[in-house]
Structure 1
Amino acid sequence: MSVPPPQYPQYPQYPQYPHGPGPQWSPMPPPVPPALNAFAVTSLVTALLVCLAPLGLVFGLVALWQIPRKGQRGKGLAIAGVSVSGAVLVLAAGLATVGDFRVWTFSGPARDDSGAVTEPGWTTVQSLDVGDCFNPGAWMREKDTPPLGKGGVQVIPCDEAHRAEAYATFRLAEQEQFPGREAIAEVAWERCAELFIDYAVDPEGSGRLRTAYFHPDEVGWNAGRRTVQCWVVRPGDAELDGSVRRRESDFDTDQLAFLSAAKPLYVATALRPAKSPEQDLAGAKAWAERMAEAQAETIQRLEDTELAGAERPTERLVAELKTGLPLWRKVADASDADAFLESLRSVERHSGTEHVVQIRTALGLPASANQR
């Protein structure tokens, strides 16, 4: 027996609309997005320009007030603008407490093709070039030097009156842990003294000077900075009226020979400890031993050198230094501070200063600090 096929219900047929007159169907157009708030964009842009960060903060706050009221987009941009501007302002306030860092008028110095500064400008300590003459900010101290990066400096042409001159940089030995300020000072003080002799060639011809240095602090060390920046300044508030830099080409053969012979004594003298024998007898005695070694080396160099036109004063200087040499040994062996100072006074009577003056005059070198 056959089973009839199942009967399915008939679904209604929807009308078919011909192409032509009548209702036409097309996709729904996309919704129009809210307008982007202009202050939000301006806030982020000005914040990134750093020097306009205060405006960026104002624009961002205006945008955050307008966006919900006008139904606009850009809240994220406004928040970013406010955040960046606020961070810049906080950083600027922190720098202002440690230096004369002019964040809102910051502009680097103008330089010529050789790199020499032609127009004054402000920069960071890290950006100083060897040979730059500058005025440190209000953080400058006479008996201490700041970590590298603590404050800004005004770089000016060296033919204008200035306080200081950057003359060398060098990197400290790599090690993971920060070695501490005293360990850095021990290395930096000696190395900067030696490098200054190479930079000035004739330190006596520049008058009384004091070498100093910028160094990385613990934060900078952990960030990978290992550079020491050496600079020179006159004691007190005196200013330099020109660069102290000299090149070997500025001197003739005899002048260079004499300056080379005197270099060990120049370096050792520059390393005279800041603490008195009463404060640090061991350090004072170590310096006296170094002076004895430097004087012996200078004597040997002078004996091996012929200085045309200055033969007699050179012989007298050698004789005087030889007389003073055992006295330096006595200073280095002093039992107490009083004995140290007494022996040091005996040494000073045999420094040969008058013979040095005669040699410099005969060789045509400028007057030394002792003649001024």
Structure 2
Amino acid sequence: MSIPPPPGPQHPQGSPEQPQGPYTQGQYPPPSPYPYGVPGAPGLPTAQGPYANHPYGPYSPYGPHSPFGSQAAVNGVAISALVLGILCFLPAVGLVLGLIALAQIKKKGERGKGMAIAGSVLSGVGLALWTLALTTGAASDFWDGFKGAASGEGTAYALAKGDCFDSATGNLEGEAYDVDEVPCSGSHDGEVFAVVTLPGGAFPGDDEVTRIADDKCYTLSDDYAMDTWALPDDADVYYFIPSRQSWRFGDREITCLFGSTEENGKLTGSLRSDATTLDADQIAFLSATNAVDMALYEEPEDLPEDDLAANQAWAKDVHAALGEQIAALRGHTWSKTAARPVTELVAEMEAARKEWALAAKTGDPDVFYAHYDEAYAYVDGPTTVTARKALGLDTTLPTYEDDSNDSGSGGGSVSAVSELCEWMCDRGYSGEKAPA
């Protein structure tokens, strides 16, 4: 049985005739029908099978070139039209580019007709939506909302000093995404008393931001609510701080505020008592007494018997603070009503100052306690109440929580807002430093 010859051009038996003569510059000899050598030549394998004598082998029926031409290029304008159509950012431009692309494709025979049509359709839909938004005012509402979000309007960091607000969650703990500003005259969740701006740079971390807020807000609270006696018993200091996420969007503000410690508690009326609400006599009195309170607040945590040196240094600081504030009270010109009560209070402050001086010098903890008790005799006592009444300030004695584990005399520290005194202890009051 004979084997039919393979398809393709047939070659006569024997070696093909080779062209003779030199080749001109730039001219190449025609390809050899035996690109891998003449079959049977020494040193080369001999082809076997029905395609052994085919000049291009069994896998190249069309010779060394493909029978198909190269693909046409994709129209670049069509690509641009499709991108703008998907983004819907410039719909009019996308529509025009799509039409231009269709004309170029038809003229040049390029590819991309589907992309041009899709870009034109999407851009047309986008243009219709933009037209509808502009005619109905929806675009204006969107832009107003965008500007509000960018500026922080309706968020915790949009609040300013003196603003009162309600929290969307009804409390001041956890994440704060939105607040509603309300009049301070009515009930509200919080009242802002200070806004602290942090420096730029990398986010310092939650712990560091909290530490800064704790330090700054408690210090600034007395500047806003100078008459600390007027604060409600359930009022305490809270703050909103930037999160790692809000920091990325430029949030650098710590918002210090007063809020209620009661569950679902509310504040009513403004707690502000500063230069905007007080007269000159009230400011002079509160500035002096608050400065002394701050010095007393620095009392060491260790008891005198555990660290007498630290308590002596503190007593020395209180002695110095009393000296400065006594001079300030004496240097102020008081109204006729307030002059005598303030003078009597200054006399008690002088007596207390001498006790602090003795406490700072003693080397005996028991003696320290004795001078300590005598020095506190004037704080929040009857003379202070009388002076406050003459000045038109609040005369309601602050209450104190007793966190003491030891009821012994003199061993505890006292409230940072208005110090505990012996006069109050005689009437059932006792306590330690109020938790910050």
- Could you tell me the TM-score, scaled by structure 2's length? 0.45
Q: Please say if residues 201 and 248 of structure 1, whose CA atoms lie closer than 8 Å, have aligned partners that are also in contact.
A: no
Which residue of structure 2 lines up, in the alignment, with residue 362 of structure 1? 390
Work out whether 1:353 is the aligned partner of 2:397: no
Q: Please say if residues 190 and 258 of structure 2, whose CA atoms lie closer than 8 Å, have aligned partners that are also in contact.
A: yes
Change (3 A) 1:125 1:348: farther
SS at match of 2:398: helix
Residue 73 (structure 1) shift = 4.5
Q: Which has the higher contact order (CA 8 A, sep 6+)?
A: 1
SS at match of 2:329: coil
Work out whether 1:198 is the aligned partner of 2:223: yes
SS at match of 1:210: strand
Q: Please say if residues 348 and 378 of structure 2, whose CA atoms lie closer than 8 Å, have aligned partners that are also in contact.
A: no
RMSD: 5.0
Q: Distance in 2 between matches of 1:356 and 1:309?
A: 12
Residue 265 (structure 1) shift = 3.9
Deviations 1:122-157 (A, max 9, x none): 92212222211122233735xxx556xx32223211
Question: What amino acid sits opposite 2:185 in the alignment?
Answer: D
Work out whether 1:181 is the aligned partner of 2:206: yes
Q: Distance in 2 between matches of 1:136 and 1:290?
A: 41
- Could you tell me the TM-score, scaled by structure 1's length? 0.51
SS at match of 1:370: coil
Which residue of structure 1 lines up, in the alignment, with residue 347 of structure 2? 315
Residue 193 (structure 1) shift = 2.5
- Work out which of the residue numbers 266, 272, 279 in structure 2 matches 1:252: 279
Question: What amino acid sits opposite 1:225 in the alignment?
Answer: D
Change (3 A) 1:269 1:196: farther
Which residue of structure 1 lines up, in the alignment, with residue 26 of structure 2? none
Which residue of structure 1 lines up, in the alignment, with residue 253 of structure 2? 227
Deviations 1:234-292 (A, max 9, x none): 3324432211123425433332221111232455678899xx989xx99xx99997797
Which residue of structure 1 lines up, in the alignment, with residue 415 of structure 2? none
Q: How does 1:264-343 map to 2 (within 5 A)?
A: 264-267=291-294, 293=317, 296-306=320-330, 308-310=339-341, 311-320=343-352, 322-324=354-356
Q: Distance in 2 between matches of 1:158 and 1:138?
A: 19
Question: What amino acid sits opposite 1:312 in the alignment?
Answer: E
Q: Distance in 1 between matches of 2:165 and 2:217?
A: 18
Q: Distance in 1 between matches of 2:212 and 2:310?
A: 15
- Work out which of the residue numbers 178, 183, 194 in structure 2 matches 1:152: 178
Question: Which structure 1 residue ranges, 5 or more long, are not aligned?
Answer: 1-43, 45-71, 82-105, 107-121
Question: What amino acid sits opposite 1:302 in the alignment?
Answer: I
Q: Please say if residues 165 and 181 of structure 2, whose CA atoms lie closer than 8 Å, have aligned partners that are also in contact.
A: yes
Which residue of structure 1 lines up, in the alignment, with residue 168 of structure 2? 137
Q: Identity over the aligned pairs, expressed in percent?
A: 23
Which residue of structure 2 lines up, in the alignment, with residue 110 of structure 1? none
Residue 359 (structure 1) shift = 2.1
Residue 352 (structure 1) shift = 1.4
Question: Which structure 2 residue ranges, 5 or more long, are not aligned?
Answer: 1-88, 90-119, 130-144, 146-152, 401-436
Question: What amino acid sits opposite 2:384 in the alignment?
Answer: V
Change (3 A) 1:123 1:328: farther
SS at match of 2:239: strand
Q: How does 1:154-173 map to 2 (within 5 A)?
A: 154-173=180-199
Question: What amino acid sits opposite 1:136 in the alignment?
Answer: S
Q: Please say if residues 169 and 227 of structure 1, whose CA atoms lie closer than 8 Å, have aligned partners that are also in contact.
A: yes
Q: Please say if residues 263 and 298 of structure 1, whose CA atoms lie closer than 8 Å, have aligned partners that are also in contact.
A: no
Q: Distance in 2 between matches of 1:297 and 1:250?
A: 26
Aligned residues: 249
Q: Distance in 2 between matches of 1:258 and 1:166?
A: 24
Q: Please say if residues 198 and 253 of structure 2, whose CA atoms lie closer than 8 Å, have aligned partners that are also in contact.
A: yes
Which residue of structure 1 lines up, in the alignment, with residue 266 of structure 2? 239
SS at match of 1:154: strand
SS at match of 1:232: strand
Deviations 1:54-108 (A, max 9, x none): xxxxxxxxxxxxxxxxxx9559968xx9xxxxxxxxxxxxxxxxxxxxxxxx9xx
Q: Please say if residues 258 and 302 of structure 1, whose CA atoms lie closer than 8 Å, have aligned partners that are also in contact.
A: no
Q: Distance in 1 between matches of 2:360 and 2:124?
A: 73
Q: Please say if residues 352 and 376 of structure 2, whose CA atoms lie closer than 8 Å, have aligned partners that are also in contact.
A: no
Residue 169 (structure 1) shift = 0.8
Q: Please say if residues 171 and 226 of structure 1, whose CA atoms lie closer than 8 Å, have aligned partners that are also in contact.
A: yes
Question: What amino acid sits opposite 2:223 in the alignment?
Answer: D
Deviations 1:313-347 (A, max 9, x none): 221134235535776999xxx9xxxx9xx99x959
* The structure with more radius of gyration: 2
Q: Please say if residues 154 and 180 of structure 2, whose CA atoms lie closer than 8 Å, have aligned partners that are also in contact.
A: yes
Q: Distance in 2 between matches of 1:288 and 1:172?
A: 36
SS at match of 1:358: helix
Change (3 A) 1:123 1:194: same
